[in-house]
Protein backbone atom coordinates (compact mmCIF):
# COMPACT_ATOMS: atom_id res chain seq x y z
CA UNK A 1 0.00 0.00 0.00
CA UNK A 2 1.13 3.46 -0.70
CA UNK A 3 1.02 6.52 1.41
CA UNK A 4 -1.79 8.98 1.02
CA UNK A 5 -1.82 10.12 -2.52
CA UNK A 6 -3.98 12.61 -4.27
CA UNK A 7 -5.10 11.70 -7.74
CA UNK A 8 -5.95 14.34 -10.28
CA UNK A 9 -6.97 13.81 -13.90
CA UNK A 10 -5.20 15.49 -16.78
CA UNK A 11 -7.07 15.88 -20.02
CA UNK A 12 -5.02 15.63 -23.18
CA UNK A 13 -5.88 15.15 -26.86
CA UNK A 14 -4.88 11.53 -26.33
CA UNK A 15 -7.05 10.83 -23.37
CA UNK A 16 -7.24 11.50 -19.69
CA UNK A 17 -4.11 10.77 -17.72
CA UNK A 18 -4.08 10.38 -13.98
CA UNK A 19 -1.46 12.07 -11.83
CA UNK A 20 -0.81 10.89 -8.28
CA UNK A 21 0.71 13.30 -5.84
CA UNK A 22 2.08 12.95 -2.36
CA UNK A 23 3.11 15.65 0.09
CA UNK A 24 6.52 15.69 -1.53
CA UNK A 25 5.72 15.77 -5.21
CA UNK A 26 4.55 13.81 -8.19
CA UNK A 27 4.56 10.12 -7.37
CA UNK A 28 3.04 8.45 -10.37
CA UNK A 29 1.55 9.14 -13.76
CA UNK A 30 -0.92 6.72 -15.32
CA UNK A 31 -1.89 6.38 -18.95
CA UNK A 32 -5.48 6.74 -20.14
CA UNK A 33 -7.55 3.62 -19.85
CA UNK A 34 -4.98 1.93 -17.71
CA UNK A 35 -6.28 3.10 -14.39
CA UNK A 36 -9.00 0.51 -14.25
CA UNK A 37 -12.16 2.45 -13.56
CA UNK A 38 -12.42 5.54 -15.64
CA UNK A 39 -14.09 8.22 -13.61
CA UNK A 40 -13.46 6.75 -10.19
CA UNK A 41 -11.01 9.34 -9.02
CA UNK A 42 -10.38 9.78 -5.36
CA UNK A 43 -9.96 13.30 -4.13
CA UNK A 44 -8.60 13.70 -0.65
CA UNK A 45 -10.18 16.36 1.46
CA UNK A 46 -7.46 18.75 2.47
CA UNK A 47 -5.71 19.22 -0.79
CA UNK A 48 -2.82 21.60 -0.20
CA UNK A 49 -2.59 24.54 -2.53
CA UNK A 50 0.89 23.48 -3.56
CA UNK A 51 -0.47 20.34 -5.11
CA UNK A 52 -2.80 22.36 -7.24
CA UNK A 53 0.19 24.38 -8.37
CA UNK A 54 2.12 21.20 -9.17
CA UNK A 55 -0.80 19.89 -11.10
CA UNK A 56 -0.86 23.00 -13.24
CA UNK A 57 2.81 22.45 -14.04
CA UNK A 58 2.28 18.76 -14.66
CA UNK A 59 -0.59 19.44 -16.99
CA UNK A 60 1.44 21.87 -19.05
CA UNK A 61 4.48 19.62 -19.12
CA UNK A 62 2.50 16.55 -20.11
CA UNK A 63 0.60 18.33 -22.84
CA UNK A 64 3.82 19.62 -24.26
CA UNK A 65 5.63 16.31 -23.95
CA UNK A 66 2.84 14.58 -25.85
CA UNK A 67 3.47 16.81 -28.83
CA UNK A 68 7.07 15.70 -28.93
CA UNK A 69 8.40 18.93 -27.47
CA UNK A 70 10.52 19.29 -24.39
CA UNK A 71 8.56 20.69 -21.43
CA UNK A 72 9.86 23.87 -19.92
CA UNK A 73 9.32 22.98 -16.35
CA UNK A 74 8.50 19.90 -14.30
CA UNK A 75 6.81 19.45 -10.97
CA UNK A 76 8.91 17.97 -8.16
CA UNK A 77 9.27 14.20 -8.44
CA UNK A 78 8.79 11.83 -5.57
CA UNK A 79 9.62 8.57 -7.30
CA UNK A 80 10.50 5.86 -4.85
CA UNK A 81 12.49 2.81 -5.72
CA UNK A 82 15.69 0.87 -5.16
CA UNK A 83 19.06 2.43 -5.78
CA UNK A 84 19.34 0.42 -8.95
CA UNK A 85 16.05 1.76 -10.25
CA UNK A 86 16.90 5.32 -9.36
CA UNK A 87 20.16 5.01 -11.25
CA UNK A 88 18.32 3.73 -14.28
CA UNK A 89 15.71 6.48 -14.18
CA UNK A 90 18.36 9.12 -13.68
CA UNK A 91 20.23 7.83 -16.68
CA UNK A 92 17.10 7.79 -18.76
CA UNK A 93 16.36 11.41 -18.00
CA UNK A 94 19.66 12.25 -19.64
CA UNK A 95 18.39 11.03 -22.99
CA UNK A 96 17.85 14.01 -25.23
CA UNK A 97 14.60 14.41 -27.14
CA UNK A 98 14.51 12.68 -30.48
CA UNK A 99 17.26 10.29 -29.46
CA UNK A 100 17.12 6.72 -28.28
CA UNK A 101 19.21 4.45 -26.16
CA UNK A 102 19.26 0.73 -25.75
CA UNK A 103 18.77 -1.17 -22.53
CA UNK A 104 22.33 -2.30 -22.85
CA UNK A 105 23.54 1.29 -23.09
CA UNK A 106 21.74 2.18 -19.89
CA UNK A 107 23.13 -0.87 -18.15
CA UNK A 108 26.63 0.04 -19.16
CA UNK A 109 26.14 3.67 -18.16
CA UNK A 110 25.34 2.70 -14.59
CA UNK A 111 28.33 0.41 -14.39
CA UNK A 112 26.57 -2.92 -14.81
CA UNK A 113 26.76 -3.77 -18.52
CA UNK A 114 25.32 -7.22 -17.99
CA UNK A 115 22.25 -6.09 -16.12
CA UNK A 116 20.27 -5.07 -19.18
CA UNK A 117 17.56 -7.49 -18.31
CA UNK A 118 17.24 -5.89 -14.91
CA UNK A 119 17.30 -2.48 -16.55
CA UNK A 120 14.22 -3.50 -18.47
CA UNK A 121 12.59 -4.37 -15.20
CA UNK A 122 13.51 -0.99 -13.76
CA UNK A 123 12.00 0.71 -16.78
CA UNK A 124 8.81 -1.20 -16.24
CA UNK A 125 8.82 -0.05 -12.65
CA UNK A 126 9.17 3.56 -13.70
CA UNK A 127 6.21 5.34 -12.07
CA UNK A 128 6.46 8.45 -14.20
CA UNK A 129 6.47 7.59 -17.90
CA UNK A 130 6.86 10.33 -20.53
CA UNK A 131 8.62 12.62 -18.05
CA UNK A 132 11.18 9.94 -17.43
CA UNK A 133 11.64 9.03 -21.10
CA UNK A 134 11.42 5.29 -20.74
CA UNK A 135 9.80 5.28 -24.16
CA UNK A 136 13.09 6.39 -25.70
CA UNK A 137 14.73 3.19 -24.59
CA UNK A 138 14.70 0.50 -27.25
CA UNK A 139 16.20 -2.96 -27.43
CA UNK A 140 19.63 -3.39 -28.98
CA UNK A 141 18.15 -4.34 -32.34
CA UNK A 142 15.88 -1.27 -32.33
CA UNK A 143 12.83 -3.17 -31.28
CA UNK A 144 10.09 -1.68 -29.15
CA UNK A 145 10.29 -4.22 -26.40
CA UNK A 146 7.42 -3.33 -24.12
CA UNK A 147 5.78 -0.45 -22.36
CA UNK A 148 3.80 0.08 -19.18
CA UNK A 149 0.87 1.74 -20.88
CA UNK A 150 0.97 -0.56 -23.89
CA UNK A 151 3.27 -0.91 -26.84
CA UNK A 152 0.92 1.24 -28.90
CA UNK A 153 1.68 4.21 -26.73
CA UNK A 154 5.40 3.76 -26.94
CA UNK A 155 5.23 3.65 -30.69
CA UNK A 156 3.03 6.72 -30.82
CA UNK A 157 5.30 8.72 -28.55
CA UNK A 158 8.36 7.79 -30.56
CA UNK A 159 6.64 8.62 -33.83
CA UNK A 160 5.95 12.12 -32.54
CA UNK A 161 9.63 12.61 -31.96
CA UNK A 162 10.44 11.48 -35.45
CA UNK A 163 11.53 7.99 -34.49
CA UNK A 164 10.14 4.95 -36.25
CA UNK A 165 10.47 1.35 -35.21
CA UNK A 166 9.74 -1.90 -36.95
CA UNK A 167 8.24 -3.87 -34.16
Please state the closest distance from residue 126 (CB atom) to DNA, in A: 5
Please state the closest distance from residue 142 (CB atom) to DNA, in A: 9
Residue of 26, 123, 128, 134 with catalytic role: 134
Please state the closest distance from residue 66 (CB atom) to DNA, in A: 16
Residue closer to DNA (CB basis): 10 or 115: 115
Residue closer to DNA (CB basis): 48 or 124: 124
Residues in CB range of 166: below 8 A, 6 or more apart? 142, 143
Please state the closest distance from residue 100 (CB atom) to DNA, in A: 11
Residue closer to DNA (CB basis): 51 or 133: 133
Binding interface with DNA (CB under 7 A): 82-85, 102-104, 112, 114-126, 129, 134-135, 137, 139-141, 143, 145-148
134 in catalytic set: yes
Residue closer to DNA (CB basis): 7 or 108: 108
Q: Which residues are catalytic?
A: 134
Amino acid sequence: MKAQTISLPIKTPDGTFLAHYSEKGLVELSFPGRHGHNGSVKLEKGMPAKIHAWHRTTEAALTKALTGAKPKKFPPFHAEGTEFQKSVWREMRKIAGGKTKSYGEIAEAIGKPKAMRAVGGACGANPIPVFVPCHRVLAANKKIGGFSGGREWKRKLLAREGITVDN
